[in-house]
Structure 1
Amino acid sequence: MVISFRNLKHRRALVGVSSLALIAACLGFAALNAGAGVRNAAAPAAPEVRRVQATTVKPRSIEDDRRAVGEIRPRRESDLGFRVSGKLISRAVDVGEAVTKGQVLARIEDEDYRNRLRSAKADQVAAEAVLVEAKGAEERIRRLLEKGYTTHANYDATLKHLRSAQAKLESANASLDMASDQLDYTELRADFDGIVTATAAENGQIVNVGQMVVRLAGPGARDAVFSIAEAAFGKASNAGKKPRIVVSLLSNPAVTAVGVVREIAPMADTATRTYQVKVSLEDAPAEMRFGASVAGRLDSTSAPVVVLPGSALFDKDGQPAVWVVDRQSQLALKSIIVARYETDRVIVGGGLAKGDIVVTAGVNRLRENQKVRVEKGDMK
């Protein structure tokens, strides 16, 4: 029993020593972790450096490649119609035919106008007879007055009758000329050499005065006609000079001609709100037929500008801006002046200097003063 009691005390002592050692080890480990945490908290986080694509600003003059689509039209085109009304009995031409000046294009029924001409001739003969009689009476009464066989009142009446007969003859002559002209107007003739581009009346149709029967176009001079939006005019860079336009066929861009703007409509079209611009073509090739679709662009170069892809644009207080990389490789948001927007690029007219490095992609993920890295090969 004595031995067992001693063994028990010995075991308890060993357990106590072991517990103290374990507690000391745990405290040491906790202290070590706490020290490491303090060191980690004290160390500053490395700044984020984002890789970006960018381009270096190099202002240069560019061709104005804005284009407008229009069509070829004759410079001289007239809607021809009769100067008298009647029933159309003959139309001698069709669309596409070439005609010469004075050629008969159409006729209306002329029987009524022939009758009017005969009536006018009869009135003229009657007026001439009255005038002859009035002249004879005036001469007789004048001689009697000279001899004192009649009064001045009788002579005055005879003289009045003579002058009235003269006026009636003049009226009859004018009516005869008018009737003759109206008979001539029953034939529609070409005013100039040209090509028939449209017809608007058929045989048997009653046509009114001035109603278009045939549209005639001069075959020589041609215009390219475009509908241009107001924004395309901008500020005139060459005030007082007529812009030169390069015109090419849409179906065959190799066929080109150069012209100058000869007319700009003073008012916009009420439906499209565009302005009609006519370009006078110089030596237009035969392939540019009437009605052909063409494209036109300004034959000039701009002042030095900066061309950026559309992906470089950002917004700053509602105004266009771009991200610029400074010498410390930090970003700064810079406002710009946009000269015009195109399909996939932006023409910058101001706000950037030569040598500025502009970010061209991922602009929505960047922030002010952010560190960036421009990789070789990304600079354009």
Structure 2
Amino acid sequence: MVFVALGASLLLAGCGAETEAEAPQPRPVRVVTVEKGEGGQVVSFTGEVLAQDEASLAFRVSGRMIERSANIGDQVKAGQIVARLDPQNAQNTLRSAQAALAAAESQLVTAANAFERQDRLLANGFTTRANHDSARTALQAAQSAVDDAEAQLKIAQDNLSYTDLVVDAAGTVTARGAEPGEVVQAGQMILQLARQGGRDAVFDLPANMLRQAPADPVITVSLSDDPNVTAVGRVREVAPQADPVTRTFRVRVGLDNPPPAMRLGSTVVGRVRLDNDLVIDIPASALTAVNSQPAVWIVDPATQTVSLRNIEVRSFSQARVAVDSGLSPGEVVVTAGVQALHPGQKVRLLGAGS
């Protein structure tokens, strides 16, 4: 009997030790404390620097260009003559108009004298009313001829002045369209002028990017070959119609005090955040699923146990997940070890991150 009791005591002691050894230990996990931060995806796009105001300089009359004093890259001033047409034909037209005016003025003097005589004769009864009316009509016709000759003279003077291509505003020549010796047509581009003043960063963007952009975004622009040279700007103009070939929309961003290194034609990179709202952003490793819906493990700080909670995802990438709803700032979310957890399990926090 003594041996039986002793054996039973040893068996019970062994079972108690085994139960105590098999008690589960808190599972170590890594966590992150939920905070709100800037949401949305930062996108970049490539463009170039152009002048806010560009103009094509052209002659207002046709002719053979005999001189062009400005070239690409030259700085020009308002009132400067940058090209000339052969003025010979315009000068001949001007001399012809001057002669026509002189002849018309002579005819006006003759008609005026004739009408004055008819006027005196009619007053004394020595001429007929018909002769008086005819003299008055001739005087009116002579006056009209003078008016027409004066207008033709003014046109000839203007056409002669149009043989000089004059700059209307200071700027930089960016392109040329004709060389001296060529016969050019009225309106044909001779020089392209980027007027002094503002600078635009110009980009060709797809329609989906325009839809996702905030209402008045601040765009950071930097040189593609030197990211340290930066400027900021806002959208100044969006093309109302897409390019028929690329199906992109041209967007002009007015730059605020661009640095001198951002020269005309420089290649630049623009960056903008598509959504400026404050959102909850967690590591992608925290994401799991329950009932085919995205979920995360939440740690209860009081009991150090975990529970599953469904969330709504706004957007995600390989590294981060933007949460639309389901989490609140200050909550603790498991970011490593999520596949080996079960509801109510005790955990041991290894550290918090972001």
Q: 2:328 aligns with which of 353, 359, 370?
A: 353
Work out whether 1:162 is the aligned partner of 2:143.
Answer: no
Inter-CA distance 171–374: structure 2 relative to 1 (3 Å threshold):
farther
Counterpart selection for 1:70 from 42, 47, 50: 47
Asked if the contact 1:74/1:223 (under 8 Å) is kept, the reply is yes
Return the alpha-carbon distance in structure 1 between the equivalents of residues 213 and 134 of structure 2: 76
> How many residues were matched structurally?
324
Question: For 1:279, which of 239, 253, 261 is the aligned residue?
Answer: 253
TM-score (norm 1): 0.72
Please tell me the residue identity of whatever aligns with 1:177.
K
* 8 Å contact kept, 1:322–1:335: yes
Alignment of 1:69-108 (within 5 A): 69-108=46-85
Question: Structure 2: which amino acid aligns with 1:229?
Answer: P
What does 1:298-337 align with in structure 2 at a 5 Å threshold?
298=272, 302-309=276-283, 322-326=294-298, 329=306, 331=308, 333-337=310-314
Question: Is the contact made by 2:28 and 2:350 (CA closer than 8 Å) also made in structure 1?
Answer: no
CA shift, 1:84, in A, is: 0.8
Counterpart amino acid of residue 194 in structure 2: A
Partner of 1:231 in structure 2? 208
CA contact under 8 A between 2:223 and 2:229: conserved in structure 1? yes
TM-score normalised over the length of structure 2: 0.77
What is the aligned counterpart of 2:227 among 246, 249, 253?
A: 253
Higher share of residues assigned strand: 2
Distance 1:236 1:50 in 2: 44
The one-letter amino acid paired with 1:74 is: A
Shift of the 50–218 alpha-carbon distance from structure 1 to 2, 3 Å rule, reads same
Report the Cα distance in structure 2 between the residues aligned to 1:102 and 1:362, rounded to whole angstroms: 75
Amino acid of the structure 2 residue aligned with 1:88:
M
Q: Distance in 1 between matches of 2:333 and 2:246?
A: 38
Cα distance in 1 for partners of 2:107, 2:291 equals: 95
Match of 2:36, SS?
Answer: coil
Q: Which stretches in structure 2 are left out of the alignment for 5+ residues?
A: 1-25
Cα gap change, 1:212 to 1:351, in 2 (>3 Å): farther
Structure 1 window deviating more from structure 2 (102-111 vs 222-231): it is: 222-231
Check 1:51–1:127 CA distance in 2 against 1; reply closer, same or farther (3 A cut).
Answer: farther
Q: Is the 8 A contact 1:337 1:351 kept in 2?
A: no
Give the structure 2 partner of residue 296 of structure 1: 270
What amino acid is the match of 1:283? Answer: N
State the AA in 1 paired with 2:329.
K
Offset at 1:371? 8.7
Counterpart position of 1:187: 164
CA contact 2:238–2:251 (8 Å) conserved in 1: yes
1:197 maps to 2:174: yes
Amino acid at match of 1:354: P
Distance 1:344 1:272 in 2: 32
- Aligned amino acid, residue 290 of structure 1: L
Matched letter for residue 79 of structure 2: G
Deviation at 1:85, TM superposition (A): 1.1
Deviations 1:33-73 (A, max 9, x none): xxxxxxxxxxxxxxxx9998764432223697433332211
Indicate conservation of the 8 Å contact 1:101/1:191, yes or no.
yes
CA 1:331–1:300: 2 relative to 1, 3 Å? closer
Alignment CA distance shift 1:218-1:200 (3 Å): same
Distance in 1, matches of 2:100 and 2:345, equals 104
Q: CA deviation at 1:87?
A: 1.8
Aligned to 1:111: 88
For the pair 1:151 / 2:125, whether they are aligned, the reply is: no
Corresponding residue to 1:130 among 88, 102, 107: 107
Contact 2:29 2:349 in 1 (8 A): no
User: What SS does the corresponding residue of 1:225 show, helix, strand or coil?
Assistant: strand
SS at match of 1:305: strand
Does the 8 Å CA contact 2:212/2:274 hold for their aligned counterparts?
no
Alpha-carbon distance in 2 for matches of 1:270, 1:378: 55
Structure number with larger C-alpha Rg: 1
- 1:139-191 deviations in Å (ceiling 9; x for gaps): 01111111111222221121111111111111111111111111111121211
CA distance in 1, matches of 2:288, 2:188: 59
Change (3 A) 1:130 1:75: same
Give per-residue Cα distances to partners, 1:200-241, cap 9 Å, x unaligned: 11122221111111011123321222233333345786x6xx
- Offset from partner CA, 1:12-31 (integer Å, 9 cap, x none): xxxxxxxxxxxxxxxxxxxx
Aligned AA for 2:65? L
- Structure 2 counterpart of 1:188, one-letter code: L
Q: Distance in 2 between matches of 1:111 and 1:184?
A: 12
Residues 331 and 371, structure 1, Cα contact 8 Å, conserved in 2: no
> Residue 121 of structure 2 aligns to a residue in which SS?
helix
1:125 CA drift (Å): 1.0
Q: Does 1:140 align with 2:140?
A: no
Q: Taking structure 1 as reference, are residues 300 and 267 closer, same or farther at Cα in structure 2, changes over 3 Å only? A: closer
CA drift at 1:330: 5.2
